């Protein structure tokens, strides 16, 4: 089974870079995962809640360990998130287009993480129904 299909079967997701700005992918991805029945935890230090869900300032603050971390942040933030995932024992990271800089992908792989870095979760959710 490829990483995309495997990750889409996991139910607990964190979206790092989630936002309540409806024009941004951080909002669209969070909403799409929620509507598809996933347990989704938004992570963004500047926001209190999104679509009625508590927003966490860091991955370590989420009450459960997410199966997958979807990353919608600039590469310089993404590198820190990869380190956070490794420290927390989170194995699966999904780097959205724009967050998938070579430096972030390489760091994730060097840390032993499973990486999806060429696919948009919005497209894959539609394809995997």
pLDDT of amino acid 2: 81
Mean pLDDT, 10 residues at a time, the chain of 129 residues: 90 97 97 97 96 97 97 96 98 96 97 97 89
Report whether 94 contacts 116 (CB < 8 A).
yes
The token pair that represents 90 in the structure block: 């989170």
Identify the CA nearest to 72 among candidates 29, 106, 41, 112.
29
- Domains of the chain from N-terminus onward: 3-127 (3.40.50.720)
The token pair that represents 60 in the structure block: 């370590």
Q: In what order do the strands lie in the sheet with 114-116?
A: 39-43, 12-16, 68-71, 92-95, 114-116
Residue 42 β-bridge partners: 15
pLDDT of amino acid 123: 95
CA dist 48 → 25, 27, 33, 77, 113 (Å): 18, 14, 19, 19, 29
pLDDT of amino acid 1: 59
pLDDT of amino acid 129: 63
């Amino acid at each position: 089974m490829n990483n995309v299909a495997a990750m889409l079967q996991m139910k607990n997701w964190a979206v790092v870079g989630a936002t309540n700005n409806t024009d941004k992918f951080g909002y669209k991805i969070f909403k799409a995962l929620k509507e598809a029945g996933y347990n989704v935890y938004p992570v963004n230090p500047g926001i209190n809640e999104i679509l009625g869900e508590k927003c966490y300032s860091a991955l370590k603050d989420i009450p459960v360990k997410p199966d997958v971390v979807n990353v919608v942040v600039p590469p310089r933030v993404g590198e820190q998130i990869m380190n956070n995932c490794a420290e927390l024992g989170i194995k699966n990271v999904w780097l959205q287009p724009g967050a998938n800089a070579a430096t972030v992908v390489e760091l994730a792989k060097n840390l032993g993480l499973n990486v999806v870095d060429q696919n948009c979760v919005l497209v894959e959710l539609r394809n995997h129904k």
